[in-house]
Amino acid sequence: MSILVTPDTKVLIQGITGSFGARHAKLSLDYGTKVVAGVTPGKGGQLFEGKVPIFDTVEEAVRETGATVSAIFVPPPFAADAIMEGVDAGLDLVVAITEGIPVIDMMKVKHAMLGSKTNASGRKTRLIGPNCPGLVTPGTGKDSHGGCRIGIAPGYIHKKGTIGVVSRSGTLTYEAVWQLTTRGYGQSTCVGIGGDPINGTSHTDVLKMFNEDPETEAIIMIGEIGGTAEEEAAAWAAEHCKKPIAAFIAGATAPEGRRMGHAGAIVSGGQGTAAGKIAALRAAGIAIAETPSDMADALIARMKSR
């Protein structure tokens, strides 16, 4: 098994006719992902790439195609609405790729989701992101073809296997995955949780899922400055995680009080420093990659030492 999505997961794409959404919808189709529907209000009845039906609403797309997961590519002003539309339609998972959603919008979405109802499968919708690359469960074909690719990650860098990857950063995820793949280590699922200060799924949430997943044998966790999510994950892992973990934290040289590209990557009032996070991770018995070149090797060394 993988976590969150499998190669059989039926995916719909909100914002499938925008240039960004269309490009990545096409790449997911090429990867072999079951993209079963698109949603663009006002374009219901049309076909994407001559085969994927487009609907006006998520509710209709779910009803007609049985999609359980959505990827959101709509622009920031409409993203909170798109997320809540997915939640209201009873999806299992909503993955918000959109970068630049106002934090007050996300605050309202997060609170609304706490009070949302469960869907037909008895589940509440989980949100991943926003401002994230999405997630990939690699397939068994050439260059991991046949997997489930939701979002914007390059599919071919993956390889089916047993390492779980969770990260706040897109390109650092690709670095870690590529290092693993070129060393012969495949991945169970790779999850980008996003670089915003308020997000749907935390490092800890994903660690819990990897810990429970029989297919995942070891985990790479990538964090960065700002907030306390990595410290919380370290505290949880120290108590509960049975599997080897290696971590990398970016931003040791970032000046205090500046947002480093990601809205959530900021050290303020001495809180959220790389040094503090690394100390917490070390104290939890997690292997630390000293540099981004060293992420896979740090994990492999830890796996061999057990």
Partner 1 sequence: MNIHEFQARELFAEFGVATQPGSVSHTPEEAEAVAAGLGGKLVVKAQIHAGGRGKGTFKSGFKGGVHLCDTPAEAKELASNMLGQVLVTHQTGPEGKEVGKIFVGEAVDIARELYFAILIDRASSSPVVIASTEGGVDIETVAHNTPEKILRLTVNPALGLMPYQTRLIAASLGLTGPLMTQASKLFLNLYRLFIERDCSMVEVNPLVVTKDGKLLALDAKFNFDDNALYRQSGVIAMRDVTEEDPREVEASKFGLNYIGLDGNIACLVNGAGLAMATMDIIQHAGGSPANFLDVGGGATREQVTAAFRIILGDKLVKGIFVNIFGGIMDCDIIAHGIVEAAKETGLSIPLVVRLEGNNVEAGKKTLAESGLKLESGENILDAAHKIVAAVKAAA
Q: Is residue 145 among the annotated active site residues?
A: no
Q: Is 108 in the site for partner 1 (CB under 8 A)?
A: yes
CA 213 to CA 189: how far, in whole Å? 10
Query: Could you say which of 24, 145, 158, 262 is catalytic?
Result: 262
Nearer to partner 1, 100 or 141 (CB): 100
Asked if 198 is part of the footprint of partner 1 (rule: CB under 8 A), the reply reads yes
**110 belongs to the binding site for partner 1 (CB under 8 A):** yes
Q: CA distances (Å), 179 to each of 72, 182, 246, 286, in order? A: 28, 5, 13, 19
Q: Which of 69, 127, 148, 222 binds partner 1 (CB under 8 A)?
A: 222
Contact between 146 and partner 1 by CB under 8 A: the answer reads no
The CA distance from 51 to 42, in Å, is: 18
Interface with partner 1 includes 78 (CB under 8 A)? no
Instruction: Tell me which residues in 259-298 interact with partner 1 (CB under 8 A).
Output: 259-265, 269-270, 274, 290-294
Which position among 11, 172, 193, 281 is part of the footprint of partner 1 (CB under 8 A)? 172
- The count of residues interacting with partner 1 (CB under 8 A) is 61
Q: How far is the CB of 222 from partner 1 (least distance, A)?
A: 7
> Which lies closer to partner 1 via its Cβ, residue 106 or residue 219?
106
Site string for partner 1, 80-99 (x = CB under 8 A): --------------------
Q: Which of 42, 45, 214, 255 binds partner 1 (CB under 8 A)?
A: 255
Stretch that binds partner 1, among 63-71, 151-159, 211-219, 239-247 (CB under 8 A): 151-159
Sort strands 148-151 and 134-137 into parallel, antiparallel or unpaired.
Answer: antiparallel
* 252 binds partner 1, rule: CB under 8 A: yes
Nearer to partner 1, 67 or 109 (CB): 109
Shortest Å, Cβ 290 to partner 1: 7
DSSP state letters, the chain: --SS--TT--EEEETTTSHHHHHHHHHHHHHT--EEEEE-TT-TT-EETTTEEEESSHHHHHHHH---EEEE---HHHHHHHHHHHHHTT-SEEEE--S---HHHHHHHHHHHHTPPP-TTS-PPEEE-SSS-EEEE--SSGGGTTSEEEESS-GGG--EEEEEEEES-HHHHHHHHHHHHHTT--EEEEEE--SSSS-SS-HHHHHHHHHH-TT--EEEEEEESSSSHHHHHHHHHHHH--S-EEEEEE-TTPPTT---SSTT---BTTBS-HHHHHHHHHHTT-EE-SSGGGHHHHHHHHHHT-
168 lies in the site for partner 1, by CB under 8 A: yes
Among 7, 15, 139, 227, binds partner 1 (CB under 8 A): 227
The strand pair at 245-250 and 287-288 is best described as parallel
Our finding on whether 102 is near partner 1 (CB under 8 A) is yes
Q: Which residues bind partner 1 (CB under 8 A)?
A: 27, 76-77, 100-108, 110-112, 152-154, 156-157, 167-172, 174-175, 178, 195, 197-198, 222, 224-228, 248, 250-255, 258-265, 269-270, 274, 290-294
Would you please indicate which residues are annotated as catalytic (active-site) residues?
262
